[in-house]
Amino acid sequence: MIATCIIQPIDIVKVRLQISGGGSPFATASNIVAQDGFFSLYRGLSAGLLRQATYTTARLGIFNTVNDELKKQAQGGKVPLWQTAGAGLMAGGLGAIFGSPADLSLIRMQSDSTLPVEQRRNYKNVGDALVRIVREEGVMGLFEGAGPTAARAMALNMGMLASNEKAKDVLEDQGFKKGTMPNTLTASAISGFFASFFSLPFDYVKTQMQKQKPGPDGKLPFPTSMSCVSKTLAEGGPLKFYAGFPTYYVRIAPHVMFTLLALEQIVKLEKSVGL
In this prediction, residue 66 has a pLDDT band, given cuts at 50, 70 and 90, of very high
* Topology of the domain comprising 2-272: Mitochondrial carrier fold (1.50.40)
* 221-270 pLDDT per residue, tens: 888 889 999 999 998 899 889 888 887 887 788 888 888 888 888 888 99
If you average pLDDT over residues 34-53, what whole number do you get?
87
In this prediction, residue 89 has a pLDDT band, given cuts at 50, 70 and 90, of very high
pLDDT at residue 134 tops 90: yes
Q: Minimal CA–CA distance to 86: which of 29, 158, 143?
A: 158
Predicted local distance difference test score (pLDDT) of residue 86: 92
In this prediction, residue 12 has a pLDDT band, given cuts at 50, 70 and 90, of confident
Predicted local distance difference test score (pLDDT) of residue 106: 85
Predicted local distance difference test score (pLDDT) of residue 139: 93
Predicted local distance difference test score (pLDDT) of residue 128: 93
123 neighbors 105 (Cβ within 8 angstroms): yes
Using DSSP, state whether 216 is helix, strand or coil. coil
Predicted local distance difference test score (pLDDT) of residue 6: 85
37 neighbors 113 (Cβ within 8 angstroms): no
Domain boundaries, the chain: 2-272
pLDDT at residue 34 tops 80: yes
If you average pLDDT over residues 60-87, what whole number do you get?
89
pLDDT at residue 21 tops 90: no
If you ran DSSP here, which 8-state letter would residue 215 be given?
-
156 neighbors 92 (Cβ within 8 angstroms): yes
159 neighbors 85 (Cβ within 8 angstroms): no
Predicted local distance difference test score (pLDDT) of residue 249: 84
pTM of the entire structure? 0.69
In this prediction, residue 62 has a pLDDT band, given cuts at 50, 70 and 90, of very high
State which H helix or E strand residue 79 sits in. Answer: none
Distances (CA, A) of 113 to 44, 96, 119, 134: 12, 26, 10, 22
Percent residues over pLDDT 90 in the chain: 19
* 37-46 pLDDT per residue, tens: 888 888 888 8
**Higher-scoring residue by pLDDT: 115, 128:** 128
Sequence-ordered list of residues with C-beta below 8 angstroms from that of 183, at least 6 positions apart, any chain:
168, 171, 172, 176, 177
